[in-house]
Structure 1
Amino acid sequence: MVRHIFSNLILVWSITFDLYRPGWTHHSKKQSWNNQNLSSVPLDLDVKLRRLDLSNNFITQLHALAVPYLEQLDLSGNQLDLISEGAFGNLARLEHLNLSRNRLSVSLGSNSKALGSLGRLKSLDISMNGLSNSAAELLLRNKSSLDQLKMTGNVLIKLSPSMFRESKGITNLIIEDNLISEIEKQTFEPLSRLESLNLARNNLAFICDFTLHQVKYLNLSRNSLEFFVTREDAALYSLEVLDLSHNKLLYFPILPKLNKLKHLYLQNNLLGALGSEAVMVTEVNFLYQHIMKERIHRKNYLHANWRLMPLAYIDLSFNHFTSFPLETLSLLFSLETLNFSHNCLQHINWDIRNYHNQSQVRQIRFPSLKCLDLQKNSLTSVSPFFLKALPQIDTLNLQENQVQPCGFLMKSLPKIFDLNSSCVAFGQLKTLKHLNLRENYIKILPPTSFQGTSLISLNLAKNNHMVIGEAALEGVQATLQSLIISEISMNSSGLSLPCMPALTNLNISNNKLNKTPGSLACSSLKVIDVRNNAFTSLNCSLLQTLSLNQTAMFISGNKFNCCNSRWLTVLNEMMVRLPDINQTECFTQLRNLTFPEYLEHPSFYCSFKRDGQEIHFGQIIIIVLFLIVLLSMLIGFSRKLCCSQRSFMV
């Protein structure tokens, strides 16, 4: 019995010792020696290891590893320049190898032979090793089982079929941040399982015949691409995500006729620099004819294929559009989100081909568009016909433009309408829920500006000196949940809000307010921001009413009176969070101090009261002086009385 207990204790001790040996992170199947300043591989490795992390050390040479069960090995971030030929001879189960950030190009012969022995390898990372084209080819020999390959940050200048001749099973290939300027034909086509291809940050100037039917994700961002052309055929492409951002594109890409594309990234290019949409279409048609030696007879023939795409998202921000490409984008029937921010639009006019008579308007639509971002343009007008073409719009961002809301609801468009109208009739957007009009130089918000919409959130911040009309929010007061009217230099007399029962978030910060509107009492406010105003106190009864729903209030940057802070007691009793109370100051007759300082010794700063009212420091001085003068007079009168009595007795 004793012997049995003793043996069990020894077993528990041995397991515990193994678990807490230096370098061990979990159990005997995983060991981490990363960031240990090692110059060589430790000798006492457990032969049962399955995962070994030796990253970020100073190992320069790698010799035979006696860990036959090893499946994952991380040697990244060392100074490895020599791997002996038999280093991986005992690693028959190794599937994942990370050799990034080393110097494999130094002893290329030995290193390539060592890697050649790893026939079962599934993922390999040889990024940032100074590898040339020929060096990479040597290291990729005998890699038929390879599934994922990463070669970021090397010095590859050209890709050819010989590069991947022995690794045709790759599904995920990353060759980002090299010097590639040319890709030979049939380089990627034999990789029948290839789904994700990342060629970002290279020197590619064009894609003139895209033929990768199997690829789902293609990243060509941050190259020098001037055009992207696909030959029109009946083949189905698997492409779902295409990133062409940060290039030099002058035209929309010519995409496969049949594809599964859902996300298209075209931001930070030169799109729109050619001028009008018609010029861009003509030029891209000419380009296609020149490259493919095929004649096109119909205008916008190539982009007509966009009707077949299930594209849901397109990013056209940071381009050079001076006019909105109405016809091309309206072909995207499935488009839900369009980012058109940071362009050069001044007007969105109804510039439609074959449209000359305004009495016969050719109507196009964006039937699925829900989110439209037009931030940071120079818009002053938006055609009512364009607004009418947005039947499902939910979110509209017009921040940093110059649009002025119309003060009436346009129930129907007149047959002849001024397309350069100086105001925007938001009332046409019946499905609109989120509207951002921040920093639009709006001077007057007229009555019924948003009547007809379904607004839930409205941002009117930074429209300096904006006057809010008495009935400006009429029509949305029942639906509005979030309202931002900060940074408009508004005083309390200029703030008139209706009863908004659905309102849960109100931001009136950075103004000149000294009182809150009583109409807020009928709202369901949860978060209120009154920072950086002129409040000396807050309405206690209003806060008590709001506290039924209120969870947080931001109050710093005001001129609160420490000795008139019953409102603070109300908020504390109702357990309303004050996230910035440590930065909130209040004043007394003695000095300014933070609220936490005041709350530590409130009686010290505000201890004098009279009939329930505070007696300020100046009043105390006057009272003291009065008492001193009165006492002096009494002393003087007593002395005179005493002297007169003495003289009478004499």
Structure 2
Amino acid sequence: MGSYLWFILAFMNEVTATFRPRQLSPCQVVNMDVYCNDLNLRTIPEELPPNIYTLDLSRNLLQNLTQELLAFYTTIHHLNLHSNKIQFIQPGLFKDMTNLQELDLSKNYLDIFAVSKTEVGPLSTVKKLSLSGNGLYTGMTDYFLRDAPSLLNLSLDGNSITKIGKETFSGSLALRNIDLHNNVILEIEEGAFESLLDLSELDLSMNSITCITDFNLSQLKLLNLSKNSLESFQTTDSDLEFELLYLDLRENKIHYFPILPRKNRLIYLDLSRNRMRSVNTTGLSEDLEYISEGRFTTHALSAGKTNRNDFSRLLYLDMSYNQIKSIPASFLRGLGSIEVLNLSNNCLEAFSVDHSGPLNTLKTLDLSFNVLQNLSFGENTLQTLEELYLNGNILGTIDPLTFYRLPRIRDLHLQQNFLSVCGSHHRLPQRGHRSQASDCVFLSSIPTLHYLYLSRNSLDSVPQNAFRGSPLLVLDLSENPGLDIHQNAFSGLESSLTHLSLKENDLGVLKTDLSVLSSLKNVDLSMNRLTTLPLWNKETVIESLNLQNNSLVTLEYSTVLVLEKTLKTLYLGSNPLSCCGNLRFLRMVQKSSVDIPDIASVTCQYTQDSEHKEISIMSVEQEHCDTIDKKSLGIIVIIITALVLIGVLTLLSKMCHPRRRRLRRSFKA
């Protein structure tokens, strides 16, 4: 019986040892995953547990992969060999690894292996393969891809490939995703991708491709051609419906609007940072030269073709940083589903939206940094617009109800223009009534407006009730030198406004009472001429206050004491603060939890031995003011003594004066 029990215990111990996770040095074992990364290994550790699911050997010093090291681990699903020094792989090494699905060989020296023109052998079950950053050039990928029938995702980025041949992917026909970005691709042979019937995502960004003249990959859903040298993009003329959803053509040299599939499902199109001068979609002008063998020829496309582009499903369109001078109504008319339209940094002088193309699905419109002088939004247009960027234009005289008509506007960026704000003395026309162009715009009674930016607008004044009825959270009025702010300018914002910037307005005094803004948390009063700190009541909730570059000598201690309750950040630099006139305040700062980011540059002034001196506010001690106090006390004592003496002498003089008169009378008698 005892021997039988011993046998059972021994058997159980063997079974437990087989399945027990072992913490082997130097690798870390977690369940069925083994992590041997960042250990400077030159070979694969011999005694790794069986039935490994994941083996991470990244960032080591491995050079050779052989059967002797890896053949035993046939259960591996994920093998990570990223960032080693691998330059040799034994042919057929992965043949028996029938569970291998992900293989990462990125950032090694596989170009040395490829020079031998030896094939790796079958990658029968691998679905995801990374060969990025290996110095591979044209033709070298064939030795890895010739027998990979299950491969779905392939990364070849960061190599030196110059040409994609029609046989490059012939052994990997199941591919769905190919990443070729950051190579030096100049040429793509006809038929290179056509055999990949399941290909849905193709990244060719950061290469040297000069043209796409016959795009016909109808099954693609994502195509990234950004950061190439493209001068034209043209789809084959076909009635076939393309699956393309995302097309990225930014940062190229495209002169004219691309010819897109007649039938498409495009929802995202980025044409920013090109050389487009128009959005003409009916054909190309005669001066466009056709690209042949990587260079321009004098062949021209016909300008008489009908409009082939279909934008009916487009949600996002970015044409910023081009040279576009106008946007015709016919173009806007086709954007029936657009939500984001970016036309910033172009040459637009006018922009209008009317009933023919109301853009009533648009949420964000960016027209910033053009040369806009005329802006027109018709009635019942832009009904869903939430963000409008008009900064960096030359708008001055526009319809005063332009923004009043936008029923969902939330963010309004008007900085760097020449607009003025209408006040309560301007009569607000009723909705539906026509209004003429005016030298001011109504920014009141817009119930959805929360963010308003009016900096650098050459504003002369902010009239009373300028924003009443608009529940602003953020208001930026900075960089309007000489700005006259009416004492009731912020009326109506008492419970909503949280951020206020009055920076660089040359303000000598604040007429308006900021203490009534009970929700105000961030205030920027920097770069003005303020000599006194605005007063706040006990209900203030200010968390950040910027007083840099003003003319503040003293700060009201009582006001600062109120602010200290909620204040978290205070900027004070470049003010002529008095050390001895702010002792209580400076002591509070030295002991306070308030953060003063510019504390190292905040100084105050005091007088010693008739000299004006400057010192950091954190270094001020009572002794710096004692000398001044003693001198002041001495002067006061002298003055008081002198006054007392003068008083005594005066009194004695009055007392002696009657006695003399009596003596004189007695002499006469």
User: Is the shorter-chain TM-score for this pair beyond 0.5, marking a shared fold?
Assistant: yes
- Residue 619 of structure 1 aligns with an amino acid whose one-letter code is D
Q: Which amino acid aligns with 1:78?
A: N
Partner residue of 1:580? 597
User: Relative to total residues, which structure has the larger helix share, 1 or 2?
Assistant: 1
**1:62 to 1:350, Cα distance in 2 relative to 1, 3 A:** closer
| Structure 2 counterpart of 1:431, one-letter code | T
Instruction: Give the match's secondary structure for 1:506.
Output: strand
Deviation per residue, 1:72-107 (Å, 9 max, x gap): 233333333221214334533222222223332333
Return the match for 1:34 from 34, 38, 59.
38
Map 1:256-271; keep pairs closer than 5 Å: 256=261, 259-271=264-276
Cα drift, residue 174 of structure 1: 0.7
Separation in structure 2 between the aligned mates of residue 93 and residue 529 of structure 1, nearest angstrom: 62
Q: State the distance in 2 between where 1:235 and 1:529 align.
A: 61
Displacement after TM superposition at 1:330 (Å): 5.6
User: Which of 428, 435, 444 matches 2:452?
Assistant: 435
Task: Tell me what 1:619 maps to.
Answer: 629
The TM-score, its normalising length taken from structure 1, stands at 0.75
Residue 73 of structure 1 contacts residue 96 of structure 1 at CA under 8 Å; is this kept in 2?
Answer: yes
SS of alignment partner, residue 140 of structure 2: helix
Question: Using the alignment, how far apart are the partners of 1:107 and 1:427 within structure 2?
Answer: 71
The residue that corresponds to 2:211 in the other structure is: 206
Q: 2:76 aligns with which of 70, 94, 100?
A: 70
Matched, 1:491 2:521: no
Question: Equivalent residue for 1:128?
Answer: 133
2:412 corresponds, among 381, 389, 396, to: 396
Shift of residue 326, structure 1, vs aligned partner: 5.6
- Determine the structure 1 residue equivalent to 2:371: none
Counterpart-to-counterpart distance in 2, 1:385 and 1:112: 73
Paired with 1:620 and 1:385, the residues of 2 have a C-alpha distance of 66
Please tell me whether the aligned partners of residues 343 and 376 of structure 1 are also in contact (alpha carbons under 8 angstroms): no
Report the Cα offset of residue 388 of structure 1. Answer: 6.8
Q: Which amino acid aligns with 2:628?
A: G
Q: Shift of the alpha carbon at 1:485?
A: 1.7
Q: For the structure 1 residues 469 and 160, does the alpha-carbon distance in structure 2 shift closer, same or farther, using more than 3 Å as the test?
A: farther
Note the C-alpha offset of 1:502. Answer: 3.7
Unmatched runs of 5 consecutive residues or more in structure 1: 607-614, 631-650
For the residues of structure 1 that align with 2:477 and 2:265, how far apart are their CA atoms? 39
Q: Distance in 1 between matches of 2:80 and 2:185?
A: 27
What code does the residue aligned with 1:617 have?
Answer: T
Verify the 8 A CA contact 2:38 2:59 in the aligned structure 1: yes
Q: Work out whether residues 540 and 570 of structure 1, in 8 Å CA contact, stay in contact via their aligned partners in 2.
A: no
Match of residue 150 from structure 1: 155
Q: AA paired with 2:78?
A: Q
Partner of 1:642: none
Distance 1:448 1:43 in 2: 80
In the alignment, is the contact (CA less than 8 A) between 2:414 and 2:452 conserved in 1? Answer: yes
Cα distance in 1 between the residues matched to 2:145 and 2:427: 67
Identity percentage of aligned residues: 28
**Matching of residues 182-197 of structure 1 within 5 Å:** 182-197=187-202
Whole-Å separation in 2 of the counterparts to 1:457 and 1:375: 16
- C-alpha contact 1:556 1:583 (8 A) present in aligned 2: no
Q: Counterpart of 2:362?
A: none
Partner Cα separation in structure 2 for residue 135 and residue 336 of structure 1: 44
Q: 1:54 to 1:463 in 2, by over 3 A?
A: farther
CA distance in 2, matches of 1:525, 1:417: 41
Where 1:621 maps in the other structure, the secondary structure is helix
Which of 177, 201, 220 aligns to 1:215? It is: 220
Q: Are the aligned partners of 2:489 and 2:512 in contact in 1 as well (CA < 8 Å)? A: no
What is aligned with 1:24? Answer: 28
Contact 2:326 2:348 in 1 (8 A): yes
Q: Is the 8 A contact 1:208 1:291 kept in 2?
A: no
Distance 1:281 1:88 in 2: 52
Contact 1:511 1:532 in 2 (8 A): yes
CA contact (8 A) 2:506 2:528 kept: yes
What is the root-mean-square deviation in Å for CA atoms of aligned residues? 4.8
* Change beyond 3 A, Cα 1:371–1:52: same
Aligned to 1:633: none
Q: Give the 3 Å change call, closer, same or farther, for CA 422–320 of structure 1 in structure 2.
A: farther
- Picking from 530, 537, 544, the partner of 2:547 is 530
Change in 2 beyond 3 A, CA 1:122/1:350? closer
Question: By how many angstroms is 1:198 displaced?
Answer: 1.1
* 1:509-588 paired onto structure 2 within 5 Å: 509-518=526-535, 524-543=541-560, 550=566, 552-557=568-573, 558-563=575-580, 564-566=582-584, 577-580=594-597, 582-583=599-600, 585-587=602-604
Alignment: residue pair count? 596
Q: Which residue of 2 aligns with 1:247?
A: 252
List aligned pairs for 1:594-613, cutoff 5 A.
594-598=616-620, 604-605=622-623
Pair 171,104 (structure 1): closer, same or farther in 2 beyond 3 Å: same
Q: Do the aligned partners of 2:354 and 2:381 also contact (CA within 8 Å) in 1?
A: no
Distance 1:22 1:553, change over 3 A: same
Q: How does 1:189-588 map to 2 (within 5 A)?
A: 189-230=194-235, 236-256=241-261, 259-271=264-276, 273-274=277-278, 280-281=280-281, 283-284=283-284, 296=305, 301-302=307-308, 305-306=310-311, 308-311=312-315, 313-323=316-326, 328-329=331-332, 331-345=334-348, 348=351, 365-377=381-393, 379-380=395-396, 387=403, 390-407=406-423, 408=426, 410-411=428-429, 417-418=436-437, 423-427=440-444, 431-451=448-468, 453-493=470-510, 497=514, 499-518=516-535, 524-543=541-560, 550=566, 552-557=568-573, 558-563=575-580, 564-566=582-584, 577-580=594-597, 582-583=599-600, 585-587=602-604
Cα drift, residue 143 of structure 1: 1.4
CA contact (8 A) 2:536 2:562 kept: no
SS of the aligned residue for 2:167 comes to helix
Residue 186 of structure 1, CA deviation = 4.6
Is the 1:347–1:382 contact (alpha carbons within 8 Å) kept by the matching residues of 2? Answer: no
Alpha-carbon distance change, 551 to 624 in structure 1, aligned in 2, over 3 angstroms: closer
Q: TM-score, normalised by structure 2?
A: 0.73
Partners of 1:333 and 1:541 in 2: how far apart? Answer: 59
Please state how far the C-alpha of 1:245 moved relative to its aligned partner: 1.1
Distance 1:579 1:42, change over 3 A: farther
Instruction: Please state how far the C-alpha of 1:47 moved relative to its aligned partner.
Output: 4.6
